[in-house]
Amino acid sequence: MIKANDPTLKSWIEVDENCDFPIQNLPFGIFKTQSSSPRVGVAIGDQVLDLAVLNKLGYLNNLKIDNSVFINQYLNDLMALGKPTCSSLRQRISDLLNENSAELRDNKEAREKALQYISNVQMLMPVRVGDYTDFYSSIDHATNVGTMFRDPANALLPNWKHLPVGYHGRASSIIISGTNFHRPKGQTKSADAEVPVFGPCKSLDFELEVAFVIGKPTSLGESVSTADADDYIFGLALFNDWSARDIQTWEYVPLGPFLAKNFASTVSPWIVTLEALEPFRTAGYTQEPKVLPYLEYAGDKNIDIKLEVSIQPENSTETAICHSNYKFMYWTMEQQLAHHTVNGCNINIGDMMASGTISGPTPNSFGSMLELSWKGTKPLKLNDGRERKFINDNDTVIMRGYCKKDKVRIGFGEARGKVLPAL
């Protein structure tokens, strides 16, 4: 048995070097085909391994997992088995896909039953999200927004470097990549107008984020320390926290985001396990002033995930407009979770916690149109000659992300969404 993260591992399934899903990744998702009900799958190359079939054929017998965990609409029941079991499952799948393992490789009938091309299946929401929390943890993003809307000399509010600011979002409107939605409508008021008007949002934006999924619950009153936080984090996905800037500007005082945020948030279909991402940990920002003891943490807790956003207008080509990185986060996931639970707030399996817009220090790394076009004052030029200040009707926004080291690429696939005209 070779450890599932070993960079020398190879699968008997061909995996292109630019593919997001080599044998070292093995992310979990939910898929269905025309003839099958929703089930748990693992991505390998351009294929998906059907764990319900694999288990039924006896290949996972050592794990003693009931097949209802795999013939399932969500990953919640799988995550509920706990990290040691999920880790053993990942290791078993790695062993089965290893180029030197004949068990599945040489059983043509089993192989054909258990493997499908991703292009032939429909990916579904991977988790049943109970609660969704959105943080605001990129220092460059918070500084940019503070500079634009308040005071460049005091861009960060006094609390920002003392706690990971966040708000409770809405789980019901989180949608799987590929789901189109209509431009939201709402109240807006321009600065020089006396009264608000009602109509379609005029400055629709994306927010480049990474979300982590809770795989272990706590009880009311319990707190999670930064040292223990990783036990509660099952994995990560790409997250587009679509935002209606003009609606937000008018509504957010004094309680924060509401209808500007809860009309759609797009999540990528594969949950990349924290375990697969461990080799890509990296040091974060030096936190100055010093944080309170419950927010202190040890070791490298940021993760080097290269992130990219593209816009594709209807009947045109993609233009990459942003290159950022998850390592630019000021507050780590471990600190976010410690802060979220420090008051005894309980968390549940399937809760989703998004990073907040991830901007880097350079203008091409800003994670929203608000920043990229600097409030609409600097329109972006697309490859086809068109310009964008915000997102137009029938534009598709595509987010991608991957880690790379020792020739191993651990990718996330895509979070893709198209904006249809307002109803």
Task: Name the residue with the smallest CB distance to Ca ion.
Answer: 241
Name every residue whose Cβ is closer than 8 Å to that of residue 413 and which is 6 or more positions away in sequence.
Answer: 20, 21, 27, 43, 177, 238, 268, 269, 270, 400
By CB under 5 A, is residue 251 in contact with Ca ion? no
The answer to whether 304 and 348 have CB atoms below 8 angstroms apart is: no
Stretch of 7-15, 103-111, 240-248, 297-305 contacting Ca ion, by CB under 5 A: 240-248
Which of 77/351 has CB closer to Ca ion? 351
Decide if residue 50 touches Ca ion (CB under 5 A): no
| The amino acid at 28 | F
Contact 170, 132 (CB under 8 A): yes
Stretch in the footprint of Ca ion (CB under 5 A) among 82-90, 109-117, 147-155, 234-242:
234-242
Residue nearer to Ca ion on the CB measure, 166 or 269: 166
Q: How far is the CB of 36 from Ca ion (least distance, A)?
A: 35
Rounded to a whole number of angstroms, the minimum distance from the CB of residue 240 to Ca ion is 9
Q: Is 141 a catalytic residue?
A: yes
Angstrom distance (rounded) from CA 275 to CA 234? 8
Nearer to Ca ion, 20 or 134 (CB): 134
> How far is residue 121's CA from residue 30's CA, in Å, rounded to a whole number?
10
Whole-angstrom Cα distance, residue 268 to residue 236? 9
- Which part of the chain contacts Ca ion (CB under 5 A), choosing from 236-244, 322-330, 387-395, 397-405? 236-244
Instruction: Evaluate whether 49 touches 41 at the Cβ level (below 8 Å).
Output: yes
| Interatomic CA distance for residues 279 and 246, integer angstroms | 41
CB of 265 to Ca ion, least distance (A): 8
- Is there binding between residue 134 and Ca ion (CB under 5 A)? yes
> Does residue 414 interact with Ca ion by CB under 5 A?
no
Q: Which of 141, 168, 323, 339 is catalytic?
A: 141
Least distance from C-beta 236 to Ca ion, angstroms?
Answer: 16
Query: Does 207 interact with Ca ion (rule: CB under 5 A)?
Result: yes
Query: What torsion, rounded to 10 degrees, do the Cα atoms 254, 257, 260, 263 define?
Result: -140
Q: Residue 366: CB partners within 8 Å, gap ≥ 6?
A: 140, 141, 144, 322, 324, 359, 360, 372
Please tell me whether residue 241 binds Ca ion under the rule CB under 5 A: yes
Q: Which residues are catalytic?
A: 141
- Give the footprint of Ca ion on this chain (CB under 5 A): 134, 207, 241
